[in-house]
Amino acid sequence: MSDEPDPATALIGLREVLDGPLHDIARRLSQLTASRWPHTALIIFTRECAGRPRKVTGDVEMLNKVTISELEQVKTSVDPGTPVCARFAVAGEERTAWVVRDPSDMLLLLVPRSPGRPLPEPRLLAALFGIVATSIRQQVAQASPDYLAESRAAALERERTIAELATAHESTLVGLLTTLRSAELDDTRARTAARDAASSALVALRTAQQAEQALSHEAAAAAFGVLRSEIRQMLRHHEAPIEFAAPTGAGRALPGDIAHAARAMTRTAVLALTADPELTRLRIAWTHDDTTLTVDVRDQSTGALDTSSLLRQLQGRARTLGATVDVDATPGWGSRVTIRLPLDPPADTGVETRLTNLNRREREVLDLLAQGKRNKAIAADLGVTESTVKFHVTRVLHKLDVSTRGEAAALALTATTT
């Protein structure tokens, strides 16, 4: 009899995959699929997530070599909805991989433990990944504070790393080119070949940097175009006329987390305003400059808007991104929602930056630590085991760069009082 779990058990385990922070979803999916689809590495690739387009777990040495261009090539080689077992260029060499490309264009790639083994139960794997892909897309579309904080932290870290590498490599290559162009070198052919190689490397470096920028940013007009399609679909049965005012000019591209947050917050405002049965007109506008994206949603209605409720819905995302929200309602006239989202994160304040790196569960654990609770009490409050709490406490101490629970609690209390 097979030791593999039946499909019903796999579906039950799927809930644990979906119920947790998005950045850790690859690890949870790997645990679910390990017995039925044994693998050494698992990769989820999606352009939905500006912060972490690659969600990976497994062989770290191999995964560190996997590139976006390789994953794009794999994706274009596979038809949506048709799982395959084939050889692809992954981490710089040809490898056997089990691949599923969801119809949403999200990619799942498994490197099997036994390269010669065919893909088991491809339809079940595709179905499971389809549900995971839908969950990821919904979390990104909702732009929860947890997602935004994690996405921003990942994007900033990636940009810093790329900028540092680009500066170092560019300086080296420019110096090399300067030397090779010197007339003092005798071997013309060798100098020409080396110069061409250095020139190609410099172009490739700059192209990679631009490609990474394109992956993590959206043009403001394009981001607004996505929003317009979403709003039209959402309000397809609404009779009130809707006016869209798109951002004008080329302007600066929007960081991915800002684009996602702006769309989610605009949709939230639109849903609140269109709840008025006497709404006669709705206007949705985005404007932006080099520092701020401003969302302006206004209507002509009774002005009977529950401003407190709408503010509560918007404030979580706003706090995460340092945004401001103003909601006004004038009885007999109408309502207006104005959201100002800074395109760059606030200056590094040390404590706040480290706290932002915590996911939702880790922040809950930290809050309970700050109340002086021990592991057993924390486990009871959160409905988890003590070993799970110990794991989270270790992660919290590491992310906050402290060595004791007391130091972590002090940081949490400092952030609360500033």
**What average pLDDT does this structure show over 325-344?**
92
Token pair of 244 as six digits: 């869209």
Instruction: Decide: 105 and 53 in contact? Cβ < 8 Å.
Output: no
In the chain, domain spans: 7-142, 146-217, 220-342, 351-417
pLDDT tens, 342-352?
988 765 555 55
State yes or no: pLDDT of 206 exceeds 80: no
In angstroms, the CA 16 to CA 14 distance is 5
Does the domain at 7-142 match CATH 3.30.450.40? Answer given as yes
pLDDT tens, 356-371?
677 778 888 888 888 8
DSSP-derived letter for residue 6 is P
Residue 1's pLDDT is what?
Answer: 39
State yes or no: pLDDT of 40 exceeds 70: yes
**Fold assignment, 220-342:** Heat Shock Protein 90 (3.30.565)
**What average pLDDT does this structure show over 385-401?**
85
> Residue 372: which pLDDT band, with cuts at 50, 70 and 90?
confident
Quick one: three-class SS letters along 16-54?
Answer: HHHCCCHHHHHHHHHHHHCCCCCEEEEEEECCCCCCCCE
pLDDT tens, 172-202?
666 666 666 666 656 666 666 666 666 666 6
In angstroms, the CA 109 to CA 124 distance is 15
Q: Do 220-342 and 351-417 fold alike per CATH?
A: no
Instruction: Decide: 216 and 191 in contact? Cβ < 8 Å.
Output: no
Residue 229's pLDDT is what?
Answer: 92
Q: How far is CA 294 from the centre of its chain?
A: 22
Note if the pTM is more than 0.85.
Answer: no
> Residue 2: which pLDDT band, with cuts at 50, 70 and 90?
very low
Exposure string over 140-158, b if 16+ CB within 10 A, otherwise e = beebbbbbbbbbbbbbbeb
Question: Percent of the chain at pLDDT above 70?
Answer: 75
Beta bridge partners of 329: 335
Does the domain at 351-417 match CATH 3.30.70.260? Answer given as no
Residue whose C-alpha is closest to residue 326's, from 360, 291, 298, 353: 298
State yes or no: pLDDT of 101 exceeds 80: yes
In angstroms, the CA 256 to CA 51 distance is 7
State yes or no: pLDDT of 417 exceeds 50: no
Residue whose C-alpha is closest to residue 264's, from 320, 214, 329: 320
In angstroms, the CA 296 to CA 291 distance is 16
Residue whose C-alpha is closest to residue 72's, from 197, 165, 211, 194: 211
Residue 111's Cβ-side half-sphere holds a number of Cα atoms within 13 Å equal to 20
